[in-house]
């Protein structure tokens, strides 16, 4: 009712209420925009739910929401149609400011002080205040009328809508027919008219239909002649008029740029009329065309002349206009839409690519929408199939030149290279015969790596309609699901190339079938060329051929990327190139490579030998019998051979078993531990598959060879060490599939966020090596413990023996002194003493032995020295504890290891009393140890699980500690204004949620770090470090 009532009153308001009228127009226009956004959200939600048909409830919710949205839109449509005549009447009245007969005579008015002496800009009109108000009102009235009428036309046809569109067409003709103005004020009013014309043309283009064509014919008398292109006069009249206005020279530089922006926006709308016309059901009669070839060339020339110097606001409409013109040229070449059209020649394209490149490099910011528009405009799909655009007389053609430039620049701009990869791979999939010209560029994309995540990219896609539109207009990638998942990751460039060649491999499989065509042969040839190119680089490239390189280094990454792509290309190995492929493969297998790289060589080799079984006997068997080979290379060949046996077809499996198993078996006795364990696992897998269990009766009739293999399998199955080794593999061999491991899904699905390295899973060899290293570590630890035990036992045994000798010698010495000198010593005499006599004799003889006494003195000295050392160590430990600050940092609520390790390091730096954690076992984590740099060995750590935290804090409060929390609350105290007690417990909150409410109730106070920036959030480790320093600073100043 509000809109109906105020809409009817528009033309009855006096001039004093013009501001209210403009506000009403702004309100209604904004309402229409909100309704459009609602439609988009409902449509997007519906498309998501339709892909999940199993969720019946969600689907019904979506249907209910869509019905509600449609009902609401229809209600508003009826309301807007009800006031449409008033809107048209008000717009007509407001447009009287555009006095087309008087602007040529209009003198320059006195400018307001805010504009005088300045160059102006998009919002600074060089008009007097009295003129600016009606001009703005006229612009707003046209914009509101265009927005509302075009939206209503989606839902209903009505006479009042025809009235609105008729008025907008008349406004167009009056604007493009107005003479140029010699005064700045008159030119500014003409500029305002074009500003109003831009939304009007957008609306007229979107609803262009047979009825609209009748309106155009009525206003353009030239269209009465047969064969006259329908839109030539519209576009040429528009360009002529606006170019004349620009040529007058009365605009300051910034206002001229504003007019240029409106020019290209209007031109874009005019050029989009044919596509909208066909969508709206308009079909041209015979010998009817929208444009002539001459008109399109004039438009194209005008665009090229302005492209290099385009302002930032003009970039998108200009590039869109280029794309539309090229599309019309393509239609004209096929005899549709455009008359007398020869298409685009190489010279025109050279001008376009060079001007476009200058435009691109001159832009300060690399925004997503302009990059996507540049790619879809210059690398137009209608031109990509033309080979002369890629190679001319052996030199790069215009499109190849542009691709080289854009990819070179893309090495510095992640979003540029990702969007380029999306568009280029989509075009290559559509035109496989062109791929041969872009082998180097596809290799660059295959080896490319960049910043992993671009937050601005995601934001632009989510918030900017132009960005979403332009990205959607790029050539459709080979896999839309992959594009959505990976486009904002550093993997996307090479993942898109991988999917491209996977799709091309599917196409090449049709060669020789009834469905084959030229594209199938082109796909096969391009795949073979690219495979040989990559293998040649892997063997001969300075970096890719290196044998000594660091793990996770740039060379390591490039090697992984290269061999991942080679695996994808394994389906292109054909008889005519297999010998060259095998040569390059064996060279690479012989070289030293880290397991992360080697696993891809092995997968490629397995697929090659499965595809060409005769090569197994020719190449693989002789290699396996070369027992002098490096263990690393020999391990790879064992893995290849075993999987060839396991995954071969039934027809050749036993032949491969007969050829490959005998040379593998001796490796079970290899002196090299990892090779031996590797061979045991693989041989067991082969025996389990090819030697099924037999009953006891059958075993009696088996040959010696078979009994040996059965016993070998039994040993490998039941031996505890072999079982442990096999259990540590986690079923790797059972899950391994050479085919799926050489697909894009098999290569790029292994994405662990915190431990991501080129989507590389842990290889079979790495798992074996890790198990063996752990086993060696356990053995060393066990041996060290045994050595300590043996040494302690030995020391105790030596002490007992020494004591026995001392007592024995003392007794013998005393007895010898008591015997007469003349008594012969060649006989024994047993002397029996009483109990007390024995004790006295023993004591006297012990004290009488001087040597023994000296030993006792030495032992006593050692005991005193040991006691002194122990006492000094105890005092040092007590001193260390006493020197620590009485601050306990509680981090039980934290779970991220980097934060906990950093806090441990910070606590040791500031000598905190202790660090409280939920699980003390984190100190054994390798990532924790790497960050803490041994701090966990010095700072006392207390384990307090989250469930026990409240009890722990209450106990500390009873012990006299002040319990403080680092948290932003309504009553939190700034950190620098709080005086810390000496005995303090500081509680840190969770990484995102902060301190729970039940813990806050235990706290004596909450402290807050003053924050001045836009981002009001600190990492919890940083917050803890700041608080620790503030506590330390206060204690030091006391």
Question: pLDDT tens across 390-401, in order?
Answer: 998 889 999 999
**What does DSSP assign to residue 224?**
G
| Residue 145 token pair | 């009328």
Least confident of 216-230, 680-694, 847-861, 1003-1017: 847-861
Question: pLDDT tens across 207-227, in order?
Answer: 887 777 776 666 655 445 556
Least confident of 682-686, 836-840, 882-886: 836-840
Least confident of 28-32, 769-773, 993-997: 769-773
> What confidence category does residue 122 fall into, taking pLDDT thresholds of 50, 70 and 90?
low
pLDDT value, residue 825: 37
Instruction: Give the number of other Cβ atoms within 10 Å of residue 423's Cβ.
Output: 28
3-class DSSP state of 310: coil
pLDDT value, residue 559: 95
Strand (E) or helix (H) holding 987: strand 984-988
pLDDT value, residue 821: 43
Question: pLDDT tens across 462-478, in order?
Answer: 788 889 899 988 988 77
Between these two residues, 848 and 323, which has the higher pLDDT value?
Answer: 323
> What confidence category does residue 816 fall into, taking pLDDT thresholds of 50, 70 and 90?
very low
Q: For residues 987 and 963, is the Cβ–Cβ distance under 8 A?
A: yes
**What does DSSP assign to residue 351?**
H
Q: For residues 1024 and 966, is the Cβ–Cβ distance under 8 A?
A: yes
Q: For residues 479 and 499, is the Cβ–Cβ distance under 8 A?
A: yes
Counting residues of the chain whose pLDDT is more than 70, the rounded percentage is 81
> Which whole number is the average pLDDT over 5-16?
58
Nearest residue to 848 via CA among 805, 817, 888, 872: 817
Between these two residues, 808 and 504, which has the higher pLDDT value?
Answer: 504
| Residue 532 token pair | 């040989």
pLDDT surpasses 50 at 811: no
> What confidence category does residue 10 fall into, taking pLDDT thresholds of 50, 70 and 90?
low
> Which whole number is the average pLDDT over 760-775?
78
CA 308/CA 298 separation, integer angstroms: 17
Strand-pair category, 291-292 with 338-339: parallel
> Which whole number is the average pLDDT over 689-709?
70
> Which whole number is the average pLDDT over 425-450?
93
| Residue 42 token pair | 């409902």
pLDDT value, residue 852: 44
pLDDT value, residue 519: 93
Cβ burial of 775 (10 Å; 0-12, 13-18, 19+) is middle
Least confident of 106-120, 709-723, 953-967: 106-120
> What confidence category does residue 871 fall into, taking pLDDT thresholds of 50, 70 and 90?
low
> Which whole number is the average pLDDT over 923-940?
88
Q: What is the pTM of this model?
A: 0.70
Between these two residues, 12 and 599, which has the higher pLDDT value?
Answer: 599
pLDDT surpasses 60 at 843: no
Burial 1008-1035 (b: 16+ CB within 10 A, else e): bbeeeeeeeeeebbebbbbbbebbbeee
pLDDT surpasses 70 at 785: yes
pLDDT value, residue 754: 41
> Which whole number is the average pLDDT over 503-512?
93
Question: pLDDT tens across 311-344, in order?
Answer: 888 999 999 999 999 999 988 877 778 887 888 8
> Which whole number is the average pLDDT over 901-928?
92
Question: pLDDT tens across 51-69, in order?
Answer: 444 333 334 444 446 777 8
**What does DSSP assign to residue 982?**
S
CA 535/CA 620 separation, integer angstroms: 19
DSSP string, 824-844: --SS-------HHHHHHHHHH
pLDDT surpasses 70 at 647: yes
**Which residues lie closer than 8 Å to 738 by C-beta, 6 or more apart?**
603, 606, 607, 610, 643, 647
Least confident of 197-201, 254-258, 481-485, 1032-1036: 481-485
> Which whole number is the average pLDDT over 903-921?
93
What pairs with residue 391 in β-bridges?
Answer: 396
Q: For residues 465 and 416, is the Cβ–Cβ distance under 8 A?
A: no
Q: For residues 452 and 349, is the Cβ–Cβ distance under 8 A?
A: no
pLDDT surpasses 70 at 729: yes
pLDDT surpasses 60 at 357: yes
> What confidence category does residue 802 fall into, taking pLDDT thresholds of 50, 70 and 90?
low
Q: What is the mean pLDDT of the chain?
A: 82
> What confidence category does residue 660 fall into, taking pLDDT thresholds of 50, 70 and 90?
very high
Counting residues of the chain whose pLDDT is more than 90, the rounded percentage is 41
């Amino acid at each position: 009712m509000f809109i109906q009532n105020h809409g009817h009153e528009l033309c009855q308001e006096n001039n004093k209420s013009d501001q209210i009228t403009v506000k009403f127009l702004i309100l209604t226009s904004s309402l229409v925009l909100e309704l459009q956004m609602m439609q988009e959200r409902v449509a997007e939600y519906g498309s998501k739910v339709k892909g999940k048909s199993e969720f019946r409830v969600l689907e019904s919710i979506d249907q209910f929401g869509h019905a509600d949205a449609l009902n609401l839109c229809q209600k508003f449509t009826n309301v807007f149609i009800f006031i449409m005549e008033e809107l048209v009447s008000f717009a007509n009245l407001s447009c009287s400011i555009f006095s087309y007969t008087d602007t040529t005579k209009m003198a320059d008015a006195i400018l307001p002080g805010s504009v005088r002496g300045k160059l102006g800009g998009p919002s600074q009109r060089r008009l007097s205040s009295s003129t600016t108000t009606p001009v703005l009102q006229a612009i707003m009235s046209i914009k509101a009328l265009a927005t509302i009428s075009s939206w209503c036309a989606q839902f209903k046809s009505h006479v009042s809508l025809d009235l609105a569109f008729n008025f907008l067409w008349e406004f167009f003709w009056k604007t493009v027919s107005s003479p140029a103005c010699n005064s700045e004020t008159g030119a500014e009013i003409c500029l305002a008219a074009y500003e109003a014309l831009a939304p009007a043309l957008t609306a007229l283009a979107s609803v262009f239909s047979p009825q609209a064509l009748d309106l155009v014919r009525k206003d353009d008398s030239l269209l009465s002649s047969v064969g006259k292109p329908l839109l030539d006069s519209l576009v040429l009249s528009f360009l002529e008029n606006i170019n004349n206005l620009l040529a007058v020279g009365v605009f300051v530089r910034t206002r001229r740029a504003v007019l240029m922006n409106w020019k290209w926006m209007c031109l874009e709308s005019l050029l989009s009329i044919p596509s909208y016309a066909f969508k709206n059901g308009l079909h041209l009669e015979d010998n009817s065309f929208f444009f002539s070839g001459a008109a399109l060339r004039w438009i194209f020339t005008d665009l090229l002349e302005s492209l290099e110097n385009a302002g930032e606001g003009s970039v998108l409409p200009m590039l869109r206009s280029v794309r539309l013109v090229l599309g019309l040229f393509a239609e004209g070449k096929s005899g549709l839409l455009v008359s007398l059209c020869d298409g685009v020649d190489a010279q025109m394209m050279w001008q376009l690519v060079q001007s476009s490149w200058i435009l691109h490099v001159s832009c300060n910011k690399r925004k997503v929408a302009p990059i996507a528009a540049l790619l879809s405009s210059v690398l137009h799909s209608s031109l990509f199939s033309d080979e002369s655009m890629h190679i001319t007389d052996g030199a790069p053609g215009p499109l190849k030149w542009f691709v080289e430039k854009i990819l070179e620049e893309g090495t510095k701009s992640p979003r540029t290279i990702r969007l380029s990869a999306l568009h280029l791979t989509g075009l290559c999939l559509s035109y496989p015969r062109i791929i041969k010209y872009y082998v180097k560029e596809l290799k660059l994309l295959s080896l490319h790596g960049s910043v992993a995540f671009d937050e601005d990219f995601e934001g632009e896609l989510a918030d900017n309609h132009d960005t979403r539109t332009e990205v959607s207009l790029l050539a459709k990638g080979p896999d839309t699901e992959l594009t959505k998942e990976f486009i904002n990751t550093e993997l996307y460039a090479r993942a898109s190339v991988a999917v491209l060649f996977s799709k091309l491999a599917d196409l090449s499989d049709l060669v020789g079938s009834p469905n084959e065509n030229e594209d199938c042969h082109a796909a096969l040839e391009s795949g073979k060329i690219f495979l040989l190119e990559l293998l040649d680089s892997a063997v001969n490239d300075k970096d890719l051929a290196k044998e000594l390189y660091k793990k996770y280094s740039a060379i390591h990454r490039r090697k992984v990327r290269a061999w991942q792509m080679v695996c994808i290309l394994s389906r292109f190995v054909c008889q005519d190139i297999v010998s060259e492929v095998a040569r390059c493969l064996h060279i690479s297998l012989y070289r030293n490579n880290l397991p992360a790289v080697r696993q891809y060589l092995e997968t490629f080799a397995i697929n090659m030998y499965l595809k060409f079984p005769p090569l197994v006997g020719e190449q693989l068997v002789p290699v396996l019998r070369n027992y002098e080979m490096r263990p690393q290379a020999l391990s790879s060949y064992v893995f290849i051979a075993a999987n060839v046996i396991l995954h071969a077809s039934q027809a050749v499996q036993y032949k491969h078993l007969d050829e490959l198993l005998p040379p593998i078996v001796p490796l079970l006795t290899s002196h090299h531990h990892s090779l031996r364990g590797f061979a045991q696992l693989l041989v067991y897998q082969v025996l389990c598959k090819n030697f099924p269990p037999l009953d006891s009766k059958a075993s009696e009739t088996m040959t010696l060879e078979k009994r040996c293999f059965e016993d070998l399998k039994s040993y490998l199955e039941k031996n505890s060490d072999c079982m442990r080794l096999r259990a540590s593999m986690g079923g790797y061999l059972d899950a391994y599939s050479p085919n799926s491991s050489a697909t894009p899904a098999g290569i790029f699905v292994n994405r662990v966020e915190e431990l991501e390295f080129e989507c590389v899973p842990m290889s079979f060899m790495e798992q074996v090596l890790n198990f063996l290293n752990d086993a060696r570590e356990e053995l060393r630890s066990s041996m060290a413990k045994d050595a300590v035990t043996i040494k302690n036992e030995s020391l105790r045994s030596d002490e007992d023996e020494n004591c026995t000798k001392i007592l024995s010698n003392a007794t013998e010495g005393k007895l010898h002194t008591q015997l007469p000198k003349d008594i012969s010593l060649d006989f024994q005499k047993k002397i029996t003493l009483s109990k007390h006599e024995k004790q006295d004799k023993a004591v006297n003889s012990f004290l009488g032995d001087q040597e023994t006494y000296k030993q006792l003195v030495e032992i006593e000295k050692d005991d005193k020295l040991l006691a002194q050392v122990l006492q000094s160590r105890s005092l040092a430990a007590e001193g260390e504890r006493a020197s620590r600050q009485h601050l306990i940092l509680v981090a039980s609520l934290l779970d991220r290891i980097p934060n906990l390790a950093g806090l441990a390091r910070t606590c040791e730096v500031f000598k905190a009393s202790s660090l409280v954690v939920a699980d003390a076992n984190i100190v054994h984590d390798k990532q924790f140890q790497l960050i803490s740099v041994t701090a966990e060995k010095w700072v006392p750590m207390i384990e307090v699980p989250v469930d026990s935290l409240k009890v722990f804090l209450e106990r500390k409060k009873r012990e006299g500690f002040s319990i403080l929390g680092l948290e932003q609350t309504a009553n939190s105290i700034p950190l620098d204004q709080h005086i810390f007690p000496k005995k303090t417990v500081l509680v840190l909150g969770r990484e995102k949620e902060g301190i729970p409410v039940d813990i806050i109730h235990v706290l004596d106070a909450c402290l807050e770090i003053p924050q001045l920036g836009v981002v009001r959030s600190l990492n919890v480790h940083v917050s803890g470090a700041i608080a620790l320093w503030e506590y330390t600073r206060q204690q030091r100043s006391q």
